[in-house]
Amino acid sequence: GENVEQHPSTLSVQEGDSAVIKCTYSDSASNYFPWYKQELGKGPQLIIDIRSNVGEKKDQRIAVTLNKTAKHFSLHITETQPEDSAVYFCAATDSWGKLQFGAGTQVVVTP
Amino acid sequence: DVKVTQSSRYLVKRTGEKVFLECVQDMDHENMFWYRQDPGLGLRLIYFSYDVKMKEKGDIPEGYSVSREKKERFSLILESASTNQTSMYLCASSPGVAGGSDEQFFGPGTRLTVL
């Protein structure tokens, strides 16, 4: 089955710097790769996603890249702000179309 | 805005009790999901449903069952709660237009403690 690994587990960045979170997946049939952000006391919320026919997608300060050959995808946050502090989860669809989530990355943006 | 509500934010139960966790969505979504979230393990799928009265096992269904009698409501049942079921439980729904590849909307979660 699908196995999604996510690194790092914690990430501390200075406000204004960039943050990068990386994920790898095992199932070559995976075709959908969403990223969720979970703020304290709330459920996860989709922030960006990418499908297998696209290599990169950008939405303001966040971007996601996908390398299907290497089976890895990354989240990039530029010009980080304190409100970017949260737990971020990557995910990938498995052969049955269900999402498999990574373990999560705790991002802390310090002023 | 899509709203997914869960019946309780915090719940404390005794070992062996039967526990019901309720989830309601208000956007007429086809798909509903139950996950548990544990530190270092991410979100793991317990059960999901693509239609009323339909249910499918996820990755960790042991010790759980579900019920979907109405489209908007998806219940998770712990028949006999055990301490290893202490966790955060998250319900989600999605439109179902793209199979498993559409956005899932999550509720705020229920923190369950089994003593």
Reduced to 3 states (helix: H, G, I; strand: E, B; else coil), residue B97 is coil
Pick from A41, A45, A51: CB nearest B106: A45
Rounded-to-integer distance, Cα B43 and Cα A98, Å: 12
pLDDT at B2 over 90: no
pLDDT surpassing 80 at residue B6: yes
Q: A93 to chain B: which residues are within 8 Å by CB?
A: 100-101
Say if the Cβ atoms of A97 and B42 lie within 8 Å.
Answer: no
What pLDDT sits at residue B98? 62
Is the pLDDT at B22 greater than 70, yes or no? yes
Q: pLDDT digit string (tens) for B86-110?
A: 999 999 999 886 666 788 999 999 9
B106–A101 CB contact, under 8 Å: no
8 A C-beta contact, residue B88 and residue B20 = no
Q: What distance in Å separates the CA atoms of residue B65 and residue B62, rounded to the nearest whole number?
A: 8
Which pLDDT value is given to residue B33? 95
| Mean pLDDT value across residues A33-47 | 96
